[in-house]
């Protein structure tokens, strides 16, 4: 009989959450903070699936459904986050291009 | 000339040292497996230790070469110490170690070991992500954290979320993050926030407080645990849930994905120039 | 109700979904048309009108939809009208604002409809999953609309900041929701076996009944869960400590969208907060009042957050020179006033929030509209850009004065009605701490007069920077009048607002 139970998973979730918070508050880099957000979301997902396994009524899949939605929305959020980073990158580049144009004239 | 004789003497001592070491092991083996008499064993071991000590002159005792009676007395002392150590290891510590290892193996299931492997992988990956100073290393640590979480899902009988985790988090989000890192590296500076960020000590304190509170809660709170847990495949059940009980969220999520897709394109694409439009219109 | 029968009461949201798609398609169809701006605006108004019609014909009732994921009740209808009003104003403001290029207008409207859909769902969600999903819908679309000027560095950075804070807040909220799910093994707030029913029923979950006696860990779990969920809501309504994104986003976003952002998602956040607390943690007694189900001190938590939020918002607003930033801090302060109504934890408190929100939509959008009109002329949004507005555009200046006085809460404007009722609800609750909260609110209102008056002084008592004539588009004049008149009328004649609020939150929520 295995000795692993619900608290083991919850502790992993708590550790993920705490480390995610640390990443969020100590990082300066925007992409680094987004990584911390992903850790927090994973922490919540571990909780959801652990509770679904141990606490929910037999046959109920609410926690797993929730986790799937979280994964989907996390992907959408990451896509928008990257698009904004890309926009910033392109803004930089356009500024450079304009400068070189000015110099040519 | 002097050099070559020194070299020859050094090589001889080295050979005797090796012979002595081999002798110690060989005599012990003979005693163990060929039932060599105890007196003969001790005598031969003493000779072998003496050979080793003499051979050691080539290295550590170069400044103070032992020879004659000094050598014999010194090697006797060494032999005594080694004998005590060997006796202690063989008769006291060894059985204890073997006993406790046996108990440990009896205590720990293979399943548990695999859980701890995944848990350590997850937490270590997250810690690497949080504390690594290099953002690329952080991203790769995140890979381990995501993999570990996927492993934990399998443990919890959640096969579909585990696969979704690998496909979407690792295959999608992590790749996006790596892209973003490489792009921002290229422009020389990170997109910084104007808000003050907290230092590592504050962050570590926050981590300890948060983790402590949540761990206390996880262990102490009276979760109402079902007596039987199911490990049946969940894909079919999830599919039915998405199309019956959770149809509305499913459809709303598709609208959100569409809006996010359009939005990401709007933000990331090149600006439509008004002049281009008028050219097209004319 | 099951999925099929629920659709009959789900028309407004269905129309909004179609409208989102229709705007994207229409944008493609009229891409070459020289009258694109007009065509798209008319199209958006058409879809908004259709949504309004759908909302109007939705029969009244109080039933759960989609198996308890949503609740159809007057509360939802009230917020639906509020959101439609804010959206109508935004659609009227956008074309002449010179902030959204005609080439991007279709996409802007399409995303605005998606945002509206999210807000409608927020106002009716009674399931943790639906709350999370709708909050994320609103957030994701808001990020995009904030960064709509993709060549503006300020807009880009505002959007990035918004994404990051939004991600953290929704992640924390999600963690709180996971704890709630663990405690109750369900995500439904209402209905049989929902969180509210379990908390109210002492026998069903004994461990929670004893939670406040012998089980500090269970109490801790509940408190942590509620505080974490509050983080997500607090981020949407821009309350401390999740307000940091607010000034930068308000400044960086296109101003018409800032106007919408300052009223729409904030109101939706309050809808979620009210539903969350009153469906799960309060129980209606026959007399019509509410009593707390648990000993969870949520009114105290909200009260403290409220006091800090309004004080910080007002004190920071004093030193601002950019009007968009100033209005951002002022909107943080208003979130604080509104939270007072929630902290009262009573029927009157909720009704006063609803009344305040009506006035707030009118006056805040109005104030931003004048900012847009001025920045069309001067290209800036600083207070010095408003110098001499009283002689250049007297009507806009008078309208802004009305809106600012109303924001301060001076009679006889609509803002006074809301603020008075909120203070009354808090004082009625009684006890030293609630009276202290009301006093803090009054002091804050006095402080806010200081920075609002500075703008009024610049408009009427200081000379303009230049003598160029300022033209205000006719539609702006019309909208300003249409906003200023109700602000004054509703400030004197409160009865309609009280009737609407009583209707929206009369019987409370069905458990």
C218, B267: Cβ pair inside 8 Å?
Answer: no
Higher pLDDT, B197 or C12: C12
C20, B191: Cβ pair inside 8 Å?
Answer: no
Name which of C125, C171, C228 to mutate to probe chain A: the one with the most chain A Cβ atoms within 10 A of its Cβ: C171
Distance CA C156, CA A88 (A): 6
User: pLDDT at position C259, please?
Assistant: 94
pLDDT, one tens digit for every residue, chain C (511 residues): 788 888 889 999 999 999 999 999 999 998 888 888 899 999 999 999 999 999 999 998 888 999 889 999 899 999 999 999 999 999 999 988 888 888 889 999 999 999 999 999 999 999 999 999 999 999 999 999 998 887 787 888 888 889 988 999 999 999 999 999 998 889 998 888 888 888 777 555 544 544 444 467 777 888 889 999 999 999 999 988 888 889 989 998 999 999 999 999 999 999 999 999 888 887 776 666 677 766 678 888 899 999 999 999 999 999 988 999 999 999 999 999 999 999 988 888 899 999 999 999 999 999 999 999 998 888 888 888 888 888 888 899 999 999 999 999 888 899 999 999 999 999 988 888 889 999 999 999 999 998 999 999 988 888 887 778 888 889 999 999 999 999 999 988 888 888 888 888 875 554 4
Nearest CA-CA distance, residue A17 and chain C, Å: 8
> Which segment of B40-49, B223-232, C195-204 scores lowest on mean pLDDT?
C195-204
Distance CA A74, CA A78 (A): 6
- Is C20 in CB contact (< 8 Å) with chain B? yes
- Is A92 in CB contact (< 8 Å) with chain B? yes
Q: Quick one: how far is CA C485 from the chain centroid?
A: 22
In a domain, A1, yes or no: no
Distance CA C65, CA B41 (A): 90
In a domain, A73, yes or no: yes
Closest by Cα among C433, C432, C340, C324 to C372? C324
Instruction: Give chain B positions within 8 Å (CB) of C32.
Output: 280-281
User: pLDDT at position A95, please?
Assistant: 37
Beta-strand (E) ranges in chain B?
none
User: pLDDT at position A102, please?
Assistant: 34
A69, C132: Cβ pair inside 8 Å?
Answer: yes
A78-97: pLDDT as tens digits: 999 888 888 877 776 543 33
User: pLDDT at position A90, please?
Assistant: 74
- Is B279 in CB contact (< 8 Å) with chain A? no
B161, A23: Cβ pair inside 8 Å?
Answer: no
Percent of chain B clearing pLDDT 90 (strictly above): 22
Nearest CA-CA distance, residue A101 and chain B, Å: 18
Distance CA C200, CA A105 (A): 76
Distance CA B186, CA B168 (A): 26
Nearest CA-CA distance, residue A64 and chain C, Å: 11
Instruction: Give chain A positions within 8 Å (CB) of C227.
Output: none
Interface predicted TM-score of the whole assembly (ipTM), two decimals = 0.90
Domain boundaries defined on chain C: 304-511
Between strands C70-72 and C63-65, the pairing is antiparallel
User: pLDDT at position B62, please?
Assistant: 58
B174-192: pLDDT as tens digits: 988 888 888 776 554 444 4
- Is C220 in CB contact (< 8 Å) with chain B? yes
C182, A57: Cβ pair inside 8 Å?
Answer: no
> How many of the other CB atoms lie within 10 Å of CB of B191?
22
Give the number of domains in chain A.
Answer: 1
Is the pLDDT at B281 greater than 80, yes or no?
Answer: no
User: pLDDT at position B216, please?
Assistant: 87
Point out the residue among A24, A56, A69 whose CB comes nearest to the CB of C168: A24
> How many of the other CB atoms lie within 10 Å of CB of C1?
17
B244-277: pLDDT as tens digits: 999 999 999 999 999 999 999 988 876 655 444 4
User: pLDDT at position C332, please?
Assistant: 94
> Which two structure tokens, joined as six digits, stand for B194?
């104007």
Give phi and psi for C382, each to the nearest 5: -80, 165
For the domain that residue A64 is a member of, what is the CATH number? 1.10.287.3510
> Stretch B205-231: mean pLDDT, rounded?
85
Range(s) of the domain holding residue A37: 6-104
In a domain, A47, yes or no: yes
> Which two structure tokens, joined as six digits, stand for B1?
């000339």
User: pLDDT at position C388, please?
Assistant: 86
- 8-27 of A, contacting B, C-beta below 8 A: 8-23, 25-27
- Is B119 in CB contact (< 8 Å) with chain A? yes
Nearest CA-CA distance, residue C122 and chain B, Å: 12
- Is A34 in CB contact (< 8 Å) with chain B? yes
The CA R_g of chain C, rounded to the nearest whole Å, is 22
Name which of B252, B258, B268, B277 to mutate to probe chain C: the one with the most chain C Cβ atoms within 10 A of its Cβ: B252
Render chain A in DSSP notation, one character per residue: -----HHHHHHHHHHHHHHHHHHHHH--BHHHHHHHHHHHHHHHHHHHHHHHHHTSPTT--HHHHHHHHHHHHHHHHHHHHHHHHHHHHHHHHHHHHHHHHHHH-
CB C303 within 8 A of CB C343: yes
Read off the pLDDT band of B65 (50, 70, 90).
low
Higher pLDDT, C507 or A48: A48
Q: Quick check: bond before A66 cis, omega within 30?
A: no
> Stretch B29-35: mean pLDDT, rounded?
80
Q: How many CB pairs under 8 A join A and B?
A: 265
């Amino acid at each position: 009989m295995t000795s692993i139970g619900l608290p083991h998973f919850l502790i992993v979730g708590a550790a993920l959450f705490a480390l995610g918070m640390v990443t969020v508050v100590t990082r300066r880099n925007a992409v680094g903070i987004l990584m911390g957000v992903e850790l927090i979301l994973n922490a919540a997902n571990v909780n959801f699936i652990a509770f679904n396994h141990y606490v929910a009524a037999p046959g109920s899949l609410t926690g797993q459904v929730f986790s799937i939605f979280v994964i989907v929305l996390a992907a959408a959020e990451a896509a928008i986050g990257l698009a904004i980073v890309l926009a910033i990158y392109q803004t930089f580049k356009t500024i450079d291009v304009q400068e070189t144009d000015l110099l040519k004239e | 000339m002097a050099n070559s004789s020194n070299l020859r003497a050094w090589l001889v001592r080295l050979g005797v040292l090796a012979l002595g070491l081999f002798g110690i092991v060989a005599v012990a083996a003979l005693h163990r497996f060929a039932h060599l008499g105890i007196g003969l064993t001790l005598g031969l071991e003493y000779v072998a230790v003496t050979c080793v000590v003499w051979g050691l002159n080539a290295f550590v005792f170069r400044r103070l070469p032992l020879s004659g009676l000094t050598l014999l007395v010194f090697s006797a002392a060494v032999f005594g110490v080694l004998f005590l150590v060997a006796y202690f290891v063989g008769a006291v510590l060894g059985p204890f170690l073997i006993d406790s290892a046996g108990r440990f193996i009896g205590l720990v299931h293979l399943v548990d070991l695999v859980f701890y492997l995944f848990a350590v992988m997850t937490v270590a990956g997250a810690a690497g992500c949080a504390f690594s100073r290099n953002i690329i290393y952080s991203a790769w640590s995140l890979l381990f954290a995501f993999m570990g979480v996927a492993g934990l899902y399998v443990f919890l009988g959640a096969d579909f979320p585990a696969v979704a985790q690998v496909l979407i988090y690792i295959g999608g989000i992590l790749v996006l993050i790596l892209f973003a890192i490489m792009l921002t590296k290229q422009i020389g500076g990170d997109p910084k926030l104007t808000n003050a960020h907290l230092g590592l000590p504050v962050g570590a304190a926050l981590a300890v407080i948060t983790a402590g509170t949540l761990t206390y809660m996880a262990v102490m709170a009276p979760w109402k645990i079902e007596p039987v847990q199911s490990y049946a495949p969940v894909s079919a059940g999830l599919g039915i849930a998405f199309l019956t009980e959770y149809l509305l969220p499913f459809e709303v999520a598709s609208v959100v994905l569409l809006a996010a897709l359009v939005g990401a394109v709007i933000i990331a694409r090149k600006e439509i120039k008004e002049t281009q439009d008028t050219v097209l219109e004319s | 109700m099951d999925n099929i029968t629920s659709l009959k009461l789900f028309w407004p949201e269905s129309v909004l979904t179609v409208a989102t798609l229709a705007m994207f398609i229409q944008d493609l169809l009229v891409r070459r048309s020289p009258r694109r701006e007009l065509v798209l605006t008319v199209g958006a108004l058409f879809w908004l009108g259709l949504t309004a019609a759908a909302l109007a014909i939705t029969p009244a009732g109080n039933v759960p939809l989609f198996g308890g994921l949503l609740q159809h009740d007057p509360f939802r209808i009230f917020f639906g009208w509020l959101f439609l009003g804010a959206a109508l104003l935004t659609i009227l403001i956008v074309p002449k604002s010179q902030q959204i290029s005609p080439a991007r207008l279709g996409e802007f409207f399409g995303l605005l409809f998606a945002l509206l859909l999210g807000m409608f769902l927020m106002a009716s969600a009674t399931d943790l999953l639906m709350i999370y999903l709708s909050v994320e819908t609103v957030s994701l679309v808001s990020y995009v609309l904030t960064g709509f000027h993709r060549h503006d560095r300020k807009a880009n950075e505002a959007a990035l900041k918004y994404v990051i804070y939004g991600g953290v807040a929704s992640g924390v909220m999600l963690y709180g929701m996971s704890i709630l799910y663990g405690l109750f093994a369900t995500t439904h707030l209402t209905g049989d076996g929902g969180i509210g029913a379990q908390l109210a029923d002492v026998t069903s979950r004994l461990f929670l009944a004893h939670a406040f006696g012998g089980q500090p860990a269970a109490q801790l779990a509940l408190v942590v869960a509620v505080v974490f969920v509050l983080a997500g809501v607090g981020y949407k309504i821009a309350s401390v400590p999740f307000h940091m994104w607010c000034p930068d986003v308000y400044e960086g976003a296109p101003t018409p969208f800032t106007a919408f952002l300052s009223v729409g998602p904030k109101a939706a956040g309050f809808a979620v907060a009210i539903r969350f607390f009153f469906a799960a943690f309060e129980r209606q007694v026959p007399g019509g009042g509410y009593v707390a189900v648990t000993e969870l001190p949520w009114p105290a938590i909200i009260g403290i957050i409220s006091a800090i939020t309004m004080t910080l918002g007002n004190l920071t607003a004093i030193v601002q020179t950019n009007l968009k930033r100033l209005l951002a801090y002022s909107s943080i302060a208003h979130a604080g006033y509104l939270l007072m109504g929630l902290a009262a934890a009573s029927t009157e408190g909720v009704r006063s929030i609803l009344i305040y929100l009506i006035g707030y939509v009118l006056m805040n959008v109005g104030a931003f509209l004048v900012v847009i009109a001025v920045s069309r002329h001067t290209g800036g949004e600083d207070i010095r850009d408003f110098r001499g507005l009283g002689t250049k555009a007297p009507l806009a200046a008078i309208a802004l004065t009305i809106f600012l006085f109303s924001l301060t809460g001076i009679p006889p404007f609509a803002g006074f009605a809301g603020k008075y009722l909120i203070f009354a609800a808090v004082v009625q609750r009684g006890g030293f701490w609630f009276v202290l909260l009301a006093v803090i609110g009054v002091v804050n209102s006095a402080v806010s007069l200081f920075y609002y008056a500075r703008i009024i002084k610049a408009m009427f008592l200081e000379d303009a920077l230049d003598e160029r004539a300022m033209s205000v588009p006719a539609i702006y004049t019309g909208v300003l009048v249409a906003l200023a008149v109700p602000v004054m009328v509703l400030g004197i004649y409160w009865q309609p607002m009280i009737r609407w609020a009583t209707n929206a939150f009369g019987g409370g929520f069905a458990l």
